[in-house]
Amino acid sequence: MASLDLERVLKIPDDYEGFPTSLFCVPKHYEDSIGNVLITHGTIQDRIEKLARDVFYDFYKQNKEPVHAICVLKGGYKFFSDLLDKVNALNSNHSEGSVPISVDFIRLKSYENTESSGEVNIIGLDNLDSLAGKNVLIVEDIIDTGKTMKKLLNTIQKYRPKSVKVACLLRKRTPLSSGYIPDYVGFEIPDKFVIGYALDYNEYFRDLLHICVISENGIQKFKV
């Protein structure tokens, strides 16, 4: 899969191996289940700080209009929390103005006939009509093929928001990609199964601080 041709993304090459887990603190119960550390927790935080500045100033230039941030659960909760904390820090320390932020949390479930409808069932947002006229920021952990996100955007657009932007921490290079490009991307990563920083494998590894590649032993150990 071709790389994103974007200036505001950190690209991790396909041949990048990462770092041995022995160099970092990882939970004992995961030591035999992780391949290498692909992105350290510190690097994640530094990159999110830059994304927060991009988000803040992009909306600040739009007459400081309010932003309605929507977190896609479960995997997006840590990225969402850290991103908004950093945006709010800018709000608190910017002498010339701030950007009001409101929040919502959703989960996505595809309809049985997703191929024909092109939509997803949005769970957790009581009234989608409330999005009308708002500047919406969708915050997602990882975009793989991009098909689910395109369906979500197709659904949300029907409720007439003023604008919709998408921020994702990770965008995977995969031959299955629909070609969808988010507005804000933290890292572009190789086509590998990654876990940690709220990204899971069968609900495990969400409590791992770093983003890592799961090992074959980890796949077998936590298989359901």
Nearest by Cα to 51 from 167, 196, 206:
167
Q: How far apart are CA 211 and CA 194, in angstroms?
A: 7
Alpha-carbon separation of residue 11 from 94, 106, 142, 150 (angstroms):
30, 28, 14, 22
Alpha helices in 68-223 (DSSP H): 77-93, 114-117, 147-157, 216-221
Coil vs helix vs strand at 149: helix
Whether 144 is catalytic: yes
Catalytic residue among 58, 104, 144, 183: 144
Contact assessment for residue 101 and residue 67, using Cβ atoms and an 8 Å cutoff:
yes
Report residue 80 as tokens: 């969402």
- Give the full edge-to-edge strand order of the sheet including 211-214: 19-20, 34-39, 211-214, 194-195
Contact assessment for residue 55 and residue 83, using Cβ atoms and an 8 Å cutoff:
yes
Q: Which residues are catalytic?
A: 144
